[in-house]
Structure 1
Amino acid sequence: MLLLKSSQWILKNSTSDTSERLRIARDLHDSLAQEISALGYFCDSAIALSAMGQERQALVDIRARLSRLGISLRDEIALLRDDQRSFSTLLEQLLQGVQKEHPLTITATLANPMFIDESKTIGLFRVVKEVILNILTHSSARSMAVELRQDSHSLELRITDDGIDYLDSDASKIDAHHFGRRGVVERMELMGGTIGFTREDGANICRITL
């Protein structure tokens, strides 16, 4: 986790040292990413050899968490290697990675937004990634829809999933460590944006504006 935190610190501070970013990206790929991949293969083998029951389910849960960690790490490595991509491109690549790893139907309508400040692009991407990882972890959703729109004044992103009601209208009751919800709210406030969570017509809805 130390290497992952190092990459996040570098991106947060928008270092201009390209060679240093690339070096850390290589280190992350050659060490942590490879270890996560190997653990995933070991889990797959253990699951295949396990009988149905609590032990097998525990292995399945571990495998799912490793997959989500792998997605997050790949995104960090990609940002270190190339932090000049547009937000819509980053989001599209994130959704493609999620689709490959999870049996989830994803519908995406992604407008190509106008210029967003580099620091806000990275911050917004991390917020969206946290929301999507929470859906994968807590919602048990079978489908998810992502809609990105922008006019001359603001950007709006709506993420909807058909999973169970894991949301709470009172944000103060949410365990910040469990859901990471407080963190994304604070991150959006720092960028001058907003994020809200609601339950409507049997769906969980996250609305982000910037």
Structure 2
Amino acid sequence: MMQLPLILVVDDDPTNFEVIETFLEDQDYRLYYVNSGEAAIATLDHFEPDLILLDVMMPGLDGIEACRRIKAIPVGATIPVIMVTALSEKRDFARCFSAGANDFISKPINSIELLSRVRSMLLLREQYKQLQVFNSRLEATVQARTAQLQTLSVKLLEAQETERRFLAHELHDEIGQALTAIKISLRRLERWVTSPQASEPLEDCLTLVDGTLQQVRNISLDLRPSMLDDLGLVPTLRWYINRHAKRTGLHETLTCEALLQRLPTVTETACFRIVQEALTNIARHAQAQVVSVTLMQANHTLHLTIQDDGIGFDQNSLSRAQGTSLGILGMEERGMLIGGQLSIVSAPGQGTRIALQVPLAAPV
């Protein structure tokens, strides 16, 4: 059953409350009376009225100051306040509104005016309550949809890694072995063919097969290095950073403290992909000379940092429509999906620092 609207009447003169009670007795309202501003503020600790009728001229804490303090309280900020006053100067009305009052009624109180103002403010209060309910439902819906999207994102990344693992295996085992067999056959053919005219085409074919075989191996390793599953994150990062440094000419170092335990597979994969994406962006855009990667564990938190001495960028003007920002978005999403937080600090001419913190479960 819906409760009737509750009106808090604040006036140091009980006679004024009786007048208000008489004017509103035929209405479906509940009235509660206190005789001071201090009592009105204390009342909000026990229940939340739907409307406050607040006398301005009261001894001690006057109505204007009481209104200001009520509006400063979270529960009071949304309660409509009608000031009841015998004052008639415009500056007095301005003081009431500046204190947070929503409306005012002049004394002596007119019953029609009182009913009109009360109904208007209670309607405002009801609309606010409905808006709160709508916002709560909307927030719950957004949270549910966000959780669903995060679940789908995790499944998508897992599916991508599974597909990468499969493609890497196929490239290494099937195509790689086929190219190796072709190379062996060409070598045998080279020994059998004595014509000088055939030796040059054969050598070209062998060179092409060697190059293709190396490309297949590189693609396979970039898709999903098997050592990530077999040996873990640290050996894989050490191998990848050395390999990337040789390919790009960058001076890249890995500083790693011994981890207390083998990390979850999803965490290892996310950290590896973040380093992979960061080093790719550095090689393409940063014009850096030195890159340092640091991995450490402290207070049940994994800390991963990638720092370069490149040209940096203006974070305020970076548009997510640019290619580099898509890479940043991907790194942020990977960090978020493992419960971590990724931050990027950069400025023109000052390089870029990418830092990831991931909470870890305490070792059993």
Task: With the length of structure 2 as denominator, give the TM-score of the two structures.
Answer: 0.40
Q: Deviations along 1:20-58, whole A, 9 cap, x unmatched?
A: 9744542464689x99x848x9xxxxxxxxxxxxxxxxx
How far does residue 107 in structure 1 lie from its aligned partner after superposition?
2.5
Aligned-partner residue type, residue 104 of structure 1:
L
Q: CA deviation at 1:76?
A: 2.7
2:338 maps to which residue? 191
* Pair 1:196–1:83, CA change in 2 (3 A): same
Q: What is the match of residue 161 of structure 2?
A: 11
CA separation of 1:133 and 1:157: change in aligned 2, threshold 3 A: same
Structure 2 contact 296–303 (Cα < 8 Å) conserved = yes
The 1:25–1:178 alpha-carbon spacing in structure 2 relative to 1, beyond 3 Å, is same
Distance 1:110 1:125 in 2: 14
Q: Is contact 1:75–1:94 with CA below 8 Å preserved after alignment?
A: no
**Superposition RMSD in Å:** 3.8
Aligned to 1:116, which of 253, 263, 267? Answer: 263
Partner of 1:99: 245
Can you list the C-alpha shifts for 1:41-88, whole angstroms capped at 9, x where unaligned?
9xxxxxxxxxxxxxxxxxxxxxxxx9xx98664243523x76122211
Paired residue secondary structure (1:124): helix
Q: Which one scores higher on RCO, CA 8 angstroms, separation ≥ 6?
A: 1
Kindly state the Cα deviation for residue 142 of structure 1 after the two structures are TM-superposed. Answer: 0.7
Q: Any conservation in 2 of the 1:162–1:203 contact (CA below 8 Å)?
A: yes
Name stretches of at least 5 consecutive residues in structure 1 with no aligned partner.
1-7, 42-65
Question: Runs of 5+ in structure 2 lacking a partner?
Answer: 1-157, 180-206, 359-364
Give the aligned partner of residue 206 of structure 1.
354
Is the contact between residue 342 and residue 356 of structure 2 (CA under 8 Å) also seen in structure 1? yes
Aligned to 2:294: 147
| Identical pairs, percent | 20
Distance 1:154 1:28 in 2: 41
Distance 1:134 1:162 in 2: 13
Distance (whole Å) between structure 1 residues aligned to residue 160 and residue 339 of structure 2: 22
TM-score (norm: length of structure 1): 0.65
The answer to whether the Cα contact below 8 Å between 1:176 and 1:182 also exists between their aligned partners in 2 is no
Q: Secondary structure at the match of 1:120?
A: helix
- The match for 1:52 is none
